[in-house]
Amino acid sequence: MVEKWSYSESIESSEIVNLEKKYGHFINGSFVSPKSKKYFDTISPSTEELLSKVSFGGKEDVDSAVASAKEGFKTWTKVKPVDRSKYLFKIARLIQERSREFAVLESMDGGKPIRESRDVDIPQVSANFFYFAGWADKLELSWSNSKFKPYGVAGQIIPWNFPLLMLAWKVAPALATGNVVVLKPAETTPLTALMFAQICAEAGLPDGVFNLVTGNGETGSYIVNHKDVDKIAFTGSTVVGKQIQASLAGTGKGLTLELGGKAANIVYEDASIDQAVEGVVNGIFFNQGHVCCAGSRLLIQESIQDQFIEKLERRMQQLRVGNPLDKNTDIGAINSKQQLEKITELVESGVNDGGSIYQTECDFPGNGFWFKPTLFTNVQPAYRIAREEIFGPVLTTITFRTPEEAIEIANNTEYGLSAGIWSEKGSKILWTADRLDAGVIWSNTFNKFDPSSPFGGYKESGFGREGGRHGLLSYLKEDK
| Stretch touching ligand NDP by CB under 6 A, among 31-39, 61-69, 231-239, 269-277 | 231-239
Among 73, 76, 87, 391, binds ligand NDP (CB under 6 A): 391
Q: Site for ligand NDP (CB under 6 A): which residue of 235, 256, 374, 377? A: 235
Contact segment (CB under 6 A) with ligand NDP among 10-18, 76-84, 214-222, 267-275 equals: 214-222
Is 258 annotated in the active site? yes
Query: Per rule CB under 6 A, is residue 472 in the interface with ligand NDP?
Result: no
Catalytic residue among 106, 116, 187, 258: 258
Q: Does 242 bind ligand NDP (CB under 6 A)?
A: no
> CB of 154: closest distance to ligand NDP in angstroms?
14
The closest alpha carbon to 331, from 291, 377, 384, belongs to 291
Nearer to ligand NDP, 90 or 262 (CB): 262
Site for ligand NDP in 285-304 (CB under 6 A): 292
Cβ-based neighbour number of residue 474 at 10 Å: 25
Q: Is 292 a catalytic residue?
A: yes
If the CB atoms of residues 214 and 432 are measured against ligand NDP, the closer one turns out to be 214
What residue number has its CB nearest to ligand NDP?
220
* 260 part of the interface to ligand NDP, by CB under 6 A: yes
Contacts (CB under 6 A) with ligand NDP, residues 101-160: 157-160
Give yes or no for residue 183 binding ligand NDP (CB under 6 A). Answer: no
Query: Quick check: 389 binds ligand NDP (CB under 6 A)?
Result: yes
Q: How far is the CB of 109 from ligand NDP (least distance, A)?
A: 13
**Nearer Cβ to ligand NDP, position 29 or 457?**
457
175 to each of 46, 132, 134, 206, 339, how far by Cα in Å?
34, 9, 12, 12, 32
- How would you classify the pairing of strands 374-377 and 356-359? antiparallel
Among 28, 243, 305, 328, binds ligand NDP (CB under 6 A): 243
Name the residue nearer to ligand NDP (CB basis): 79 or 183.
183
Q: Does 224 bind ligand NDP (CB under 6 A)?
A: yes
From candidates 98, 184, 226, 262, binder to ligand NDP by CB under 6 A: 184
Which of the stretches 80-88, 229-237, 281-289, 357-365 binds ligand NDP when contact is defined by CB under 6 A?
A: 229-237
CA dist 426 to 277, 299, 415, Å?
19, 18, 26
Letters for 327-356 (x = contact with ligand NDP by CB under 6 A, - = none) are ------------x--x--------------
Closest distance of CB 237 from ligand NDP, Å = 3
Residue of the chain from 55, 64, 126, 161 that contacts ligand NDP (CB under 6 A): 161
To the nearest whole angstrom, how small is the minimum distance from the Cβ of residue 214 to ligand NDP?
A: 9
Size of the site for ligand NDP (CB under 6 A): 26
Active site positions, annotated: 258, 292
Q: Which parts of this chain interact with ligand NDP (CB under 6 A)?
A: 157-161, 184, 186-187, 216-217, 220-221, 224, 235-237, 240, 243-244, 259-260, 292, 339, 342, 389, 391
